[in-house]
Amino acid sequence: MPISRRDILKSLALGVPALQLNPASAFNSNNAATEVPLLDNIDKGPFVGTRASLRTYEIPDWFRDAKFGIWAHWGPQSAVEAGDWYARNMYIEGHKQYDYHVKTYGHPSKFGFKDTIPAWKAEKLDADYLMGLYKKAGAKYFMTMGVHHDNFDLWNSKYNRWNSVNMGPKKDIVGMFKTAARKHGLRFGISDHLWITYKWFSSSKGSDKEGQLAGVPYDGADPKNFEYYGRCEEVFSPNLDWNENGIPESWKKHWFDRIKDLVDQHEPDLLYCDGQMPFEEHGLNMLAHMYNKSAAKYGGKTQAVYTSKRSEDSAPGTGICVFDVERGVVETIWPLAWQTDTCIGDWHYNRERVGKYKTAKTVVDMLVDIVSRNGNLMLNFPLPASGMLDSDELNVLDGITKWMAVNSEGIYGTRPWKIFGAGPQTEITKNPKEVNSAQQFNEKNRKDFSYEDVRFTTKGKNLYAFFMGWPEGGQVVIKPLATTSEQKVGNIENVELLGVGKVQFTRDGEGLKVTLPSKKPGEHAYTLKISGQDLV
């Protein structure tokens, strides 16, 4: 059985790699002549490509204040609209996506993933319209995919002719989204998933083990297709080896050149890595280049953000970037700003998930919980092949929009309180057999919050308490604000319910007891703005 993405990221404590297009020899791990040293061609500035230098990096305030971003995890794999990792799984005999491909397009020895790319036309893409929706929903930054594991660049790549300007939609997708994001005043991010492609696409070089075409190689095994699928010579295994073992130096250099080209052309505020920072020296030089480029633009202090899924890369004192958690949350308040990346459905659009998305309540619960732990939420709305959100996605987005219109004061520009929260949903279910079990991929253990679940944020001298549902009986009790609380809370002088105004309250050894109005100011979580003395 093919492994899940959860299983793959069990190796996050190890390294991270990528894939190449033009010089096909760069995929040949046995060709010593292709081993190319890293060139010293990064921009000069405050940083050099060493961990010692990069440890002086400080996360910019714009990111700490933003709290909410939206992602378009969208590319040629979206054309088929059959879910995640189609370009790999369609070559794995017995996989659901293999069966779908054979039934719909034919055998992968005759009709490979490369042949599906023309179906990605993006004929309804209106980046300006989407950005307007996302801004209205409260997003402060937007991220487009730059290149997924499928080795297809979404910009006018200097190093890869397999890109969205030459093929598929024949548009600079990254450039279009960048222009729209800047127009609407949003910070702009790009995601890089390229590092593991060298191994990830090895499935294209296999063949069926059973049936009439047993032993007939798939199209990725044809040398004329190495430019796209790569020349990884390892024996294919469904159990993807999620580390840098066997990745040639030439590929690492190619990854550097390609991502540097992306950064140079589009100058993202945020560059997301789908794993840990890859290829040590190459990755360190990439960070230094990106940070220096940003510093030159912003008066000597970098405003750029880079994410890594390895916590050591972002730990206080040794960190060089921002910690990213895929589909999960950290256990408690993280000492530095961090980010969750998740999706309302599958990462790539999947027709079978329509109507089965995360609800607006689930998203709001996650957002408040993450912000209370000093984090940001990056939420993917997977676009269909056409480039326009479906009606169910628009409904989820509308729910978020309405909630933000009332409650965003307690989200943007806030910082954590003494504790992140209280109530039944404060513990994270752990699996001790899994790496990063308390962080990566723990969202499946989540339950919808109730009024008994409380989360806190602060801004200036104000304390914000979110109660995550509407209690019956007209009163909510915030237990951590009791007069006998371990948090040693000072005097509470005023309490407001956002969307309503001042509300009556009392306080005793059981907690802060707030009398609620007869009519709710909205749906989902509700926000109390609390002022007084010595609250934060």
Q: Is 370 in contact with 377 (CB distance < 8 Å)?
A: yes
Query: For 223-350, where are the E strands, in sequence order?
Result: 270-273, 305-308, 322-326, 338-343
* pLDDT-derived band at 404, boundaries 50, 70, 90: very high
Q: Quick check: 142 pLDDT over 90?
A: yes
Residue 119: Cβ-neighbour burial (10 angstroms; 0-12, 13-18, 19+): middle
- Please give the Cα distance from 408 to 91 (Å, whole number): 45
Q: Quick check: 14 pLDDT over 70?
A: no
* pLDDT attached to residue 447: 80
- Please give the Cα distance from 403 to 101 (Å, whole number): 41
CA 363 to the chain's CA centroid: 14
pLDDT single digits (tens) 446-490:
788 999 999 999 999 999 999 999 999 899 999 999 999 998 999
* pLDDT attached to residue 16: 31
pLDDT single digits (tens) 24-46:
334 433 333 333 344 458 899 99
Amino acid found at 4: S
- Express as a percent the part of the chain with pLDDT over 70: 89
Q: Is 84 in contact with 148 (CB distance < 8 Å)?
A: no
Q: Count the Cβ atoms, other than its own, within 10 Å of residue 235.
A: 8
Residues 6+ apart with CB under 8 A from 337: 59, 63, 64, 322, 374, 375, 376
Same fold, 5-326 and 421-532: no
Domain ranges of the chain: 5-326, 421-532
Mean pLDDT (the chain) is 89
Residue with tokens 């992140």: 420
Cα angle: 188, vertex 190, 196; to 5 degrees: 165
Average of per-residue pLDDT across 229-238: 76
Q: Count the Cβ atoms, other than its own, within 10 Å of residue 503.
A: 16
Exposure on the CB side of residue 390, measured as CA atoms within 13 A:
17
pLDDT single digits (tens) 192-218:
999 999 999 999 999 999 999 999 999
* Alpha-carbon Rg for the chain in angstroms: 24
pLDDT single digits (tens) 63-84:
999 999 999 999 999 999 999 9
Report which of 117, 248, 244, 259 is spatially closest to residue 192, judged by C-alpha positions. Answer: 259
* pLDDT-derived band at 355, boundaries 50, 70, 90: confident
* pLDDT-derived band at 9, boundaries 50, 70, 90: very low
Q: Quick check: 319 pLDDT over 50?
A: yes
* pLDDT-derived band at 441, boundaries 50, 70, 90: low
* pLDDT attached to residue 40: 59
Report which of 248, 305, 220, 222 is spatially closest to residue 271, judged by C-alpha positions. Answer: 305
Cα angle: 257, vertex 280, 48; to 5 degrees: 75
CA 93 to the chain's CA centroid: 29
Q: Quick check: 154 pLDDT over 90?
A: yes
* pLDDT-derived band at 439, boundaries 50, 70, 90: low
* pLDDT-derived band at 444, boundaries 50, 70, 90: confident
Q: Place domain 5-326 in its CATH homologous superfamily.
A: Glycosidases (3.20.20.80)
Query: For 289-424, where are the E strands, in sequence order?
Result: 305-308, 322-326, 338-343, 375-380, 421-422
Architecture (CATH level 2) of domain 421-532: Sandwich (2.60)
Report which of 185, 347, 378 is spatially closest to residue 271, judged by C-alpha positions. Answer: 378
